[in-house]
Amino acid sequence: MNTNEMDADEYINAVMTQMFMQAHAQFGNAVKSFWFNDSGICPGCGRQAGLVKYKGKDALSINAFIHRKPGVLIGYFLCDRCQKEIFRAAKRNPGVQIARHDAIESNLVAAYQQHMSTLYS
């Protein structure tokens, strides 16, 4: 099956599986699982997340970070505005996190904890 034949959920799962395998290869057992935040809300600002413009074309900004305590790779979409802000900051100072990253990670940790609490309630 190629990407043209995949539905959105299959594509997200394939991307997350690939990112998980890469993270697991690099960090070993520190990364135990993955979860994708499919709320449709940008964790950076609360706007609608999904399609963004990249080099004049529609794209999905699929991102991830490792929530260290449980060892979960958390995937997410950004909105166009947050994606552009992070790209601009990365051009100015490569490898340096900005305040937006902190907000994204904090919001995603809260969303993950909420997700887990609904599984075990």
pLDDT value for 58: 86
pLDDT value for 28: 95
pLDDT value for 3: 52
Whole-model pTM: value is: 0.88
- Residue-level pLDDT, tens digit, the chain, 121 residues: 455 556 878 989 999 999 999 999 999 999 999 999 999 999 999 999 988 888 888 888 789 999 999 999 999 999 989 988 999 999 999 999 999 999 999 999 999 999 999 987 7
Q: Comparing C-alpha atoms, which of 50, 41, 117 is closest to residue 80?
A: 50
Instruction: Break the chain into its structural domains and give their ranges.
Output: 3-119
Q: Comparing C-alpha atoms, which of 62, 4, 58, 68 is closest to residue 30?
A: 68
pLDDT value for 4: 57
Q: Comparing C-alpha atoms, which of 59, 60, 47, 58 is closest to residue 104?
A: 47
pLDDT value for 11: 87
